Amino acid sequence: MNTQYYIQSYCKIKEACITLNDTLVFEDQNNEPKSFFKNAYKNLELKYAKFFKMDNLSKLSFLGAEFLLQDNENDAESNTAIVLSNKASSLDTDRKHQDSIQDKANYFPSPAIFVYTLPNIAIGEISIRHQLKSENAFFVFDTFNAEFLCNYASVLLDKKKAKSVLCGWVDVDNENYEGFMYLVSRNGKIKHTIKELTNIYQK
């Protein structure tokens, strides 16, 4: 890893607030995930009806990506890889699916819920929205793993698998949610290091 990369921008979504590079960009009175994500989406004034069909993990990831990739004029050619991580995987949606098949006498699994019983579907939703056909991976850790993500993103850039990497931690479990997403590239002021990532995450 000889080339110095930078954290171009970062977005935090938690406790009914969204910040972009530490600047508050949206705040809501309602911290319940479904309502908060819906209100944040409405605030963006987007026309993307598929948002409402997503599970909460995908909605959280989608919102973070919207803020970080909004200046990418030509997403399809940007070659932005996506590397996300969390603790709960897709457990929040897995439980909903389990509920729909728990009772053998009332066995009606929902196809619309079932398709979200994998965490990397969140990456798929971002890729569809921004027309990305890039490298991607989703990892499950107990906590935000700055060292792993830093190394993984740097390897993707070093090996020229991508020109930028959308990384982060997107965790949803029942009423709890936390999003920390950031864009790594050759542009920016904050060095892409384990120390800086840890500092930003813990701020």
Contact footprint for other proteins (CB under 8 A)? 38, 49, 52-53, 108-112, 115
Measured from the CB atom, the residue of 59 and 192 that comes closer to other proteins is: 59
Measured from the CB atom, the residue of 74 and 102 that comes closer to other proteins is: 102
Q: Which of 187, 179, 193, 202 is nearest to 126 (CA)?
A: 179
Measured from the CB atom, the residue of 44 and 140 that comes closer to other proteins is: 44
Least separation in angstroms between CB 65 and other proteins: 20
Centre a 10 Å sphere on the Cβ of residue 31 and count the other Cβ atoms it contains. 14
Measured from the CB atom, the residue of 7 and 123 that comes closer to other proteins is: 123
Between the CA of residue 15 and those of 19, 91, 158, 178, 190, what are the distances in Å? 11, 20, 36, 8, 25
Least separation in angstroms between CB 115 and other proteins: 6
Residue 167 CA to residue 96 CA, distance in Å, equals 27
Least separation in angstroms between CB 159 and other proteins: 35
Least separation in angstroms between CB 27 and other proteins: 21
Measured from the CB atom, the residue of 24 and 112 that comes closer to other proteins is: 112
Least separation in angstroms between CB 49 and other proteins: 6
